[in-house]
Amino acid sequence: MTSASAPPAAAPVHQRVAELTATLIGSWQEGYLNDRSQAVAALARLRRGAGREAGEMPDLWNLIDTDGLHTSAAGTRTLGEQELVCAENALHAALTLWAFHQQSRGAPMHRRHTRERPGGLGAAVRRLMPADGVDEPVRKRLVRAGTAPDLVSLTQRLRDIVALLRREDIPLDYALLAGQLYLWQWPDGPAAVRRRWGRSFHEQRRPRPASDENISPDTDKDAS
């Protein structure tokens, strides 16, 4: 996948992607945790797309509702063709990774970032490590993801990280991740996202809390 030409600087498209991701996951996650058959079936379909290119699986075409990207609410503008492609790619990647993460977990694996409880990718990876040290193989997984040559390779490498987070019941802010995956696809985007992941990694210095339940959502879209 090649990088596109730069989008209009004033367009907060990554926020629109993040908000739509949060809306879709919020509904599915609640349904899944309450064992609603429709949500359980949707999650099973979604997780088969983890690490695969958007559009590769026709089974997901009528499941992932992208109408929010194609319509313009008050104060927003219509997205250009390349912006739509990048937004749909990011949405697909984030939703399918979440579904893989949530599988068979009894607690929400999508949790919004707050300054008190960082939810970025770097912070989640840091929580896989001892409080007083760095697990070098785990750190290298984050570095390897950051140096992926394209979005498909990146999502495949993120899937490996998500498998570790799933094993330890460590949640992630998938709305925040979706916005970052949108930015990744533009010139200079990979470098900017790597910096955010690095800041997020160093932001999480405390031992892992005993419980991640009952966390209030936050809308800090530009957090690391």
Q: How far apart are CA 180 and CA 189, in angstroms?
A: 8
Tell me, yes or no, whether 6 lies in a domain. no
Q: What is the pLDDT of residues 113-153, one digit of tens each?
A: 888 888 899 999 999 998 878 888 999 999 999 999 999 99
Closest CA to 193 of 220, 201, 118, 170: 201
Tell me, yes or no, whether 168 lies in a domain. yes
Q: What is the pLDDT of residues 54-65, one digit of tens each?
A: 877 888 888 988
Alpha helices in 34-132 (DSSP H): 37-47, 67-70, 81-102, 121-126
The answer on pLDDT for 179 being more than 70 is yes
pTM of the model: 0.83
Tell me, yes or no, whether 224 lies in a domain. no
- pLDDT above 90 covers a percentage of the chain that reads 61
Tell me, yes or no, whether 217 lies in a domain. no
Closest CA to 95 of 116, 78, 109, 113: 109
Q: Look up the domain containing 167 and give its range.
A: 13-203
- Judge contact between 54 and 155, C-beta under 8 A: no
Tell me, yes or no, whether 108 lies in a domain. yes
- Judge contact between 178 and 21, C-beta under 8 A: yes
The alpha-carbon radius of gyration of the chain (Å, integer) is 16
What CATH number corresponds to the domain at position 179? 1.10.520.40
Q: What is the pLDDT of residues 12-70, one digit of tens each?
A: 899 999 999 999 999 999 999 999 999 999 999 999 888 788 877 888 888 988 888 88
Give the mean model confidence (pLDDT) for residues 158-168: 96
Tell me, yes or no, whether 221 lies in a domain. no
Q: What is the pLDDT of residues 76-111, one digit of tens each?
A: 678 899 999 999 999 999 999 999 999 999 999 999
- Helices then strands, counting H and E runs in the chain, come out as 9, 0
Count up the domains in the chain and report the number: 1
Q: How far apart are CA 92 and CA 64, in angstroms?
A: 8
- Looking at residue 6, its pLDDT comes to 55
